[in-house]
Amino acid sequence: MNVFLGFARNVPQNESYSLQRQYLPLGKIGGLPAWLNPVTLPTLDELTCPTCKKQMAFLMQIYCTDQTDPTFAFHRTIYLFLCRNPECSKPNDASNFVAFRCQLPRANGFYSSESALDPTVVGEVADPFYNESTYAKLCAVCGCSAGKKCARCTKRWYCCRDHQVIDWNREHKSTCGNNEAGDITTSTLTNDFLFPEFAVDIEDDEENEGEKLLRCIAQLKKFENVENGITPNDLEGLEEFAKDEAFNNFHNVISRNPEQILRYEKNGNPLLASDHAPEPNDIPPCHICGSSRRFEFQLTPHLVSLLGVDSPGQSIDWATVMVFTCSQTCRMNDDGYGKEFVFKQDFTNSVE
């Protein structure tokens, strides 16, 4: 399979509606998640950072289905969430990330089985399948599943107390009880919890077959050297060599398209950034069906620069973030959201 590259694209405010769920966006960064299945969403616990216990923020999503997928995965989207607390970002540790896979058959209760809405043709329209009684209530701040509502006006929903406070200070204090609409997509105000919003455009990688072959040979030689055996005295030097080789290769490949924010190669091999390379036994099997997971895509360093997360001292950072998904594309209960495996590399070999 070819490698596909993702690039962030600014979307004018008057066209931002095109990233809403009813239009099946190819990909988006930041803002509110565009839920493929708007009924059975990830739970609050699933979106809670295991370190600081705060709600994670929506980072990005990509629509990624192909003809080899089962019929129940006619539509397929992968979601990534990230904890905004920089203290939770540790070298070579992906515990501040969580990934979800969601799939739907062609015939479903949320989209036409004939064709998707084209925002350039129909313009801004409400979700034609919206059902207030079945669609999940969404947090007015983060767009995730909400279980609490404002006791005063009963119009605004929240996933947690922290987000209710954010919304109160941002907007709701002046509108509560004024017969405001409860639909959060009508608000033009952003908030500091959300990452900046971009569309994602996908293009073929221009890496030729010769370059790909050289990259594969370099990876093969690395593992052959390990298989042939080394002495304890050789270990430190070999580790440094492997790290340098991986970094140089990563830099050379990324520098051809420095503004790429993701690399997609389903069933392919990730582009390793350091010597902290995932081994097959580091990738746990699918927790739903028990099948092995395969590499699907990875994030690149350029995405970090678009998020506005630079801060003095410790900050959110990565060399690359890899996502591994179920090799059988198994079906979730109620066509909901299943967790997938995330692996992070940094330009360091220290692990805390």
Read off the amino acid at residue 303.
L
Contact 19, 197 (CB under 8 A): yes
Q: How would DSSP label each residue in 186-229? A: G-----TTSPPPEEEEEEE----HHHHHHHHHHHHHHHHHHHT-
Q: Is the pLDDT of residue 230 over 60?
A: no
Contact 260, 254 (CB under 8 A): yes
pLDDT of residue 325: 98
104 and 158 share one domain: yes
In this predicted model, which residue has the larger pLDDT, 52 or 351? 52
Q: Is the pLDDT of residue 138 over 60?
A: yes
Task: Give how many domains the chain has, as a whole number.
Answer: 2
Query: Environment class of residue 242 by beta-carbon count within 10 Å: exposed (0-12), middle (13-18) or buried (19+)?
Result: buried
pLDDT of residue 347: 84
226 band by pLDDT with thresholds 50, 70 and 90: very low
347 and 243 share one domain: no
Beta bridge partners of 299: 262, 321
221 and 285 share one domain: no
* Average pLDDT over the chain, rounded to an integer: 87
Q: In the block, which residue shows the tokens 């077959």? A: 209
Of the candidates 222, 239, 256, which is a domain's last residue?
256
244 band by pLDDT with thresholds 50, 70 and 90: low
- pLDDT (mean) for 206-218: 57
Question: Residue 310 is encoded by which pair of tokens?
Answer: 């630079």
Question: Residue 192 is encoded by which pair of tokens?
Answer: 């500091």
157 and 193 share one domain: yes
- pLDDT (mean) for 288-315: 92
Least trusted range by pLDDT, from 5-19, 40-54, 176-190 = 176-190
141 and 236 share one domain: no
- pLDDT (mean) for 258-269: 96
- pLDDT (mean) for 129-145: 96
pLDDT of residue 207: 60
Q: Is the pLDDT of residue 298 over 90?
A: yes
- pLDDT (mean) for 142-147: 96
- pLDDT (mean) for 241-260: 85
33 and 164 share one domain: yes
172 and 304 share one domain: yes
pLDDT of residue 312: 67
274 band by pLDDT with thresholds 50, 70 and 90: confident
10 and 43 share one domain: yes
* DSSP tag of 285: P
Q: What is the pLDDT of residues 317-330, one digit of tens each?
A: 999 999 999 999 99
- pLDDT (mean) for 237-264: 82
Of the candidates 256, 291, 319, which is a domain's last residue?
256
pLDDT of residue 279: 67
269 and 251 share one domain: no
346 and 232 share one domain: no
248 and 265 share one domain: no
Q: At what angle do helices 209-227 and 232-255 cross, to 10 degrees?
A: 170
Compute the 3-state secondary structure of the chain and give helix, strand, coil in percent, each to the nearest 5: 25, 20, 55
Q: What is the pLDDT of residues 164-182, one digit of tens each?
A: 999 999 888 888 887 655 5
Of the candidates 220, 238, 256, which is a domain's last residue?
256
pLDDT of residue 8: 98
198 backbone dihedrals φ, ψ, rounded to 5°: -140, 155
Q: What is the pLDDT of residues 54-99, one digit of tens each?
A: 999 999 999 999 999 999 999 999 999 999 999 999 999 999 999 9
Domain span including residue 304: 1-203+261-352
pTM over 0.85: yes
Element (H, E) at 294: strand 293-299
44 and 154 share one domain: yes
Q: Is the pLDDT of residue 154 over 70?
A: yes
Question: Residue 143 is encoded by which pair of tokens?
Answer: 């767009």
Q: In Å, how far are 12, 220, 230, 279, 304 from 223, measured between CA atoms? A: 47, 5, 12, 11, 30
